[in-house]
Chains A and B, each alone.
Chain A
């Protein structure tokens, strides 16, 4: 297959050439262990420190508040489990939402088995948390509010500043999973009263397997991975120097292009959405139209099933994803689509397209044209569509 249109950038992104270039010398030349005494290796300590500063600046944080991890999943696990451990004597109640990534949801389930109580907030039909419900969920024993900055499936961006203010008013720690939002929307941890924040490099043209947890000075969570004294004794293990260098470069790149890049993506995103809505009947845009990640499009097409749609798109060289059960290995469709109130059969027919800075209008025109044919074809063999048409004829 010669054509390849990659539109699954929420799953992962291409590592940028400049990022790879920045990383290479740290494999073959400056490969020393940053903890070693001799200057050849110890220089890498300063290199790491510089990356920390670059990343901290992107958040309005301080360099010593950034702790590198092996990715977003580890950062999420750390924030939740270590907060539960450190603050468990104050209370055992945690508030989160029904639309979190599994890195949060499955960690919460684990904590529930360990005697913690978790409230999973509902979201409205656009995938936005209701602040009133959050206020009502707060109890004297609530120790943590963990609400994602932006959702990975439907792209909805939460009112993070308001949530932070509510947490702050009540003296409750606030963690946010910003894996999808970091470098896609401007983030200020101080204005939003964020105490902890997770992010991951591979979502912003950086390498896989490197992320960080921002921990505000004064938050007393402890180490989650025990061993050496790296990361100021809070995260043991020889630093992933190449990964950290790649992450720093990726952030530098993404921050400098933020405004222009996301403006371009938004324009293309909205063009794509309007074409689909105008040209493919019985579809529904999932997620909020305005409070939405610049690169996220998520549609449900009635009477068709997501996996079939993905295979057909794959045959045309288009990479996308779906919340259908068949792509998740369970019988239930995505928990996010169910949480916004979609009936099962419509949730099964969802398609997520996530753009990158390289996506062109021509790419999207090709996708719309391909989709029109594929959806029509699949509807032609759908018994649900047959029943629907017969009912309409009556």
Chain B
């Protein structure tokens, strides 16, 4: 079902974790559909992404696309990071099954959401960046057990 690259990024995901006091954090997707991605960015004063971490709840493709997206934006300045599309993520993974293409879109949205958060916090405007649509926080709370 998955390419070797997808399996590699799923089994050995790059950049899993959190960044404390991150420059920007973005969370997209929702638990209802079974995919949530959160991306943390550490951006320096030259607007270069120094570090990036992610956490994902979702299928193999969701984990692999998050991992690849973090690899692609790392070290880039924010303008270049904006240019990374879901297509680029998919290509870097040697493709995804058609039913999993939405995972790569989610990865692109997660990067944008984190950049948006960074821009908001620092009062700057990033060319071409729109306010992220998906946000999870209104989700129903699961009961405890």
By a beta-carbon cutoff of 8 Å, the part of chain A in contact with chain B is: 282, 284, 302-305, 307-308, 311, 315, 324-326, 329, 331, 333, 343-346, 348, 380-386
Contacts and interface: CB of A to CB of B under 8 A. Distances in A.
Contacts of B60: 307-308, 311, 326
B34 to A, nearest CB: 4
Contacts of A385: 57
A325 B18 contact: no
B59 A326 contact: yes
Top 3 nearest A-B pairs (CB, nearest first) are A345-B31, A307-B59, A326-B59
Nearest to A327: B59
Contact of B59 (A305, A344, A345, A381): A305
Contact of B57 (A311, A329, A343, A383): A383
Given A302-B142, A315-B11, A345 B34 contact: yes
A329 B60 CA distance: 14
Contacts of B139: 345
A389 to B, nearest CB: 11
Contact of B31 (A284, A311, A326, A384): A384
A385 B35 CA distance: 13
B132 interface: no
Given A331-B33, A383-B36, 5 more contacts: A305-B59, A344-B32, A345-B32, A381-B13, A386-B38
A299 to B, nearest CB: 12
Contacts of A381: 13, 16, 54-56, 63
Nearest to A284: B145
The main secondary structure of chain B at its interface with chain A is mixed
A105 to B, nearest CB: 21
B58 interface: yes
A307 B100 CA distance: 12
A305 B16 contact: no
Interface in B25-74: 27, 31-38, 54-60, 62-63
Contact of B58 (A308, A344, A386): A308
A383 B34 contact: no
A344 B36 CA distance: 13
A308 B63 contact: yes
B59 A324 contact: yes
A66 B118 CA distance: 69
B31 A344 contact: yes
B142 A383 contact: no
B65 to A, nearest CB: 13
28 contacts: A305-B34, A305-B59, A305-B62, A307-B60, A308-B59, A308-B60, A311-B60, A324-B34, A324-B59, A326-B34, A331-B34, A343-B31, A343-B143, A344-B32, A345-B31, A345-B34, A345-B139, A345-B142, A381-B54, A382-B55, A382-B57, A383-B36, A383-B37, A383-B57, A384-B31, A384-B57, A385-B57, A386-B38
